[in-house]
Amino acid sequence: MALYGIDRLIAAKKEDLQNLTGPMTDARIRLREEVAEQIKALKEMKIMGEYYGLDLSRPAYTAQEAVQWVYMAYLAAVKEQDGAAMSLGNVSSFLDIYMEYELSQGTITESFAQELIDQFVYIKKTLEWADIFPFLYFHAFFKGLKQSAVIKHLVIDEMQDYTPVQYAVVNKLFDCPKTILGDFGQSANPNLSHSLEDIAGLYDGAELVKLNKSYRSSYEIISFAKQVGGVRELETVERHGETPLVIPCRNEAGQLQRIKECIDRFNKGQNNTLGIVVRTNREAEALYGALAKEYGVQLISEKSGKFEAGVSVVSVRMSKGLEFDEVAIPSADFKNYHGEHGRNLLYIACTRAMHRLTVLYHGQGSVFLNEAARPPEIK
């Protein structure tokens, strides 16, 4: 994966699938199914990379990226198989090629190269976040967990982003009444497949209250977002404003110019915040670098300590819990927003806007924009 990138691997697998022709024997049918599953797995690996802010679609260009790409492949295998029974194999010779080249070019030092390898070895010996709660659950079964006697009522937000086993561990740690809040339309983790009913099944006798009215955004924005997200039950308040704009651009340069126009219009207006929401952290960093040369913008990342007024560039994941007077969503194309996970991300981005929403794309727009193209019915 580090040598070729996932996009090239997918293309090769699709070619393999096309070449599997002839009589559909049991063996050939099984082989076609296996290749199709490999293509599906590669696509899921690319999504997992985006979750970590890595563009696995392309080859690794540096020694650091080579280590990251190899680890992502290892992590994907661990998630699919029994991690305790897996061996990464000998990858040192492969990584040495990257290391030696960068050392010869003077782009890294020997100490940095050693640090990369040390971190890689250490990470393999460290539990992944997703594996901590299954470990705690089994630990509780054999040895028990100390319950908190201090907490009298526990509030859990973003319930759609927790797994059933995480809830099981929380229930063992906190034997008290709970209020659990969330919106399954805003699930940002592509690896979670549980539903509201699954969570409700963990709490016998729980009262289910649905809060379907949105007070954040204007009627027009919520009506647009409902169509994007396929959310039927969401109700809107009678606060009207501008109709969201969906603007196709000729190319990436044309899209960047449109983004700058959004910033210029915001700077001349009375609103306090403009959020430019892109899909991944890496895209946010790249767009911030392009805009910071001309505008006073801030990048919202995991390292951010505060949220300020003005223009912010942010990924969908980092935008959760935030709201902006105006929102611009670049690159709302089919590549970025397709499938149920892509639909959830685009829905999250749209619902960050309170008063003005502008959606931009070049090439083929997301199919969910077509569903939202119908103008809202004014009551």
Same domain, 265 and 163: no
- Domain match, 366 and 250 both: yes
Handedness of CA 261, 267, 271, 272 (dihedral sign): positive
Q: Which of 343, 326, 323, 325 is nearest to 334 (CA)?
A: 343
Residue range 265-272: mean pLDDT, rounded: 96
- The pTM of this model reads 0.64
Asked if residue 166 and residue 255 are part of one domain, the reply reads no
Answer yes or no: do 166 and 310 share one domain: no
Mean pLDDT calculated for residue range 8-36: 88
> Distance (Å, rounded) from C-alpha 367 to C-alpha 260?
25
Domain ranges, residue 345: 214-371
Cα separation of 255 and 283, whole Å?
Answer: 14
Distance CA 107, CA 93 (A): 20
- With a pLDDT cut of 90, the percent of the chain lying above it is 40
Chain segment 146-197, per-residue pLDDT in tens: 888 899 999 999 888 888 888 888 988 998 999 999 888 787 766 666 778 8
**Among 200, 228, 253, residue at a domain's last position:** 200
Provide CB contacts within 8 A for 183, sequence distance 6+. 160
Q: What is the pLDDT of residue 375?
A: 39
Beta bridge partners of 236: 214
Is residue 28 included in any domain, yes or no? yes
Q: Are residues 40 and 68 in the same domain?
A: yes
- Could you give the percent of the chain with pLDDT greater than 70? 90
CATH code, domain carrying 242: 3.40.50.300
pLDDT digits (tens, 9 = 90+) for 217-240: 999 999 999 999 888 888 888 889
Q: Which of 127, 156, 179 is the last residue of a domain?
A: 127
Q: Among the residues of the chain, which ranges form H helices? A: 6-19, 26-51, 63-80, 92-105, 110-124, 129-142, 164-173, 196-200, 219-229, 252-268, 281-291, 316-319, 339-350, 367-371
Domain assignment present for 154? yes
User: Does any domain span residue 379?
Assistant: no
Provide the number of structural domains found in the chain: 3
Are residues 136 and 123 both part of a single domain? no
Greater confidence, 82 or 251?
251
Same domain, 196 and 61: no
Residue-level length of the chain: 379
pLDDT at 343 exceeding the cut of 80: yes
